[in-house]
Structure 1
């Protein structure tokens, strides 16, 4: 083994140790694992230019997170929530429209390039929005910065509310979600096998993240339900966080620092608008405030599913609203962003079109 490989091994050990040491005190806030790993990798890896994640390890993290989201999707939740489907669509669509308005404010102020502000403000699962934003006119690093800044705020608010009311129940759920049985191993083997089979059969560069969501949902429907253990889930989030941190260049960090206060203001506006929608649920369906608060939270289905599971909130209602919004953005997010940006260019800022 040459000196460079030895140095890399040492750096990986130090980075892993730092992440674990810093993460452990905050492990109660499960979604914070990705945030902490981003911060650690940014701070530590700035001067370690040769430190890069293996592509297969990064793909494995996408499969893990995709499986978690796919296992969170349960159509029975929508049926058992006893809320009319049209109302689910209405609230979800309204929330997306409000997010697009806030995102267009970011585009209008021109402190973020292209469609970055739109992707950053969309309240889907943050990893999905980042992966889907890897297109022309968007900077995935800045999208990640906005998405996870919002996730931090929403997670802290939601976790604080839950800790004050449901501390014992949440801790019990986290303890229960640590089971490593043969069914978990077989589940991941099956997912990887089906993804490999699909990629080889279709001979196309398909999105592995989306495939893992699809196959996890299918297996969860036809087989006995399982949960992704906390340790495996934390590994997936940490690897994704490292990858984001490694790709946050000095240029992106400078742009993020300059735009932080404006991003903070827009995120605050978005959160207030989203939580205003929760009053509609309380008023029309007499839903308890915690459930309504989590159902309309712009944190994304991944973080909210983790936070709300095992609390006194009515999980079918929370997941129903989060799921409908997530599916809309999953299948139509790119078209929604492109259409909104084209409308913005045509009617609000035609100078952009002239430049192109």
Structure 2
């Protein structure tokens, strides 16, 4: 068979396969997602690029948000059905404490010292005298906008022996603005989620003074991200919700098995540039099927900090807020 004929045959076969895949769907179920452009969301990016949602007969309405609060607000207001990996784990539980029964968590994302995965870093200029949170007296610290990272930042400052109301000025900074703010001197340091630390190191204009500082203080591993869905979505469209969980779990397995391959999607969805990929840190991703008692214990430690810092009422048992196999009809 000549090359042109062989090529035409391959194209025809691919078209037939694709038409068969779509024909297997009686209909495409529309699902709305709200996400943040950070490393913890990598499995979601891969699910999109690998067309896993389409294969699961899901038409995705994908909405990028600028802050963690916006994701949870969209879920509580039922403008979104789910927050993919990287939705705010702490804010989700603050919302649950105010509106009980609205959300279910079906995955956790973060990093840790023991697992060798970077979640966050204290970012400073290369010549900065700041080596730890104790060095922030009289300084300005930027963080991801919203109550979650404001609370975590306050706790980190307090744990270093400083008063977050008197000794340090805390500033909300959008993810894309954090490295420029450090380099330009708008802030003295940032407590940043990946890929900000990797971008900082790759630029040569900033460094990580500390790697995974939050895991060292709150819990190791530390989970600041979560996969979250509304209970309304779960109750009204359980079959679709089950497919969403399966898609995210499949994508999570792909990323965990071969991050070197799948990190190529990051420049499309995050501030990371293609020439910075070599230095990017792999996130620690836990799918629904993999969650265990240690993960839940770590998540509880974060929630307990929010209660301790007075931003939510307690007690709250995170185990009661997790999606279960029974919820999915398994």
TM superposition score normalised by structure 1: 0.24
Q: Which structure has more helix as a fraction of its residues?
A: 1
TM-score, structure 2 as length reference: 0.26
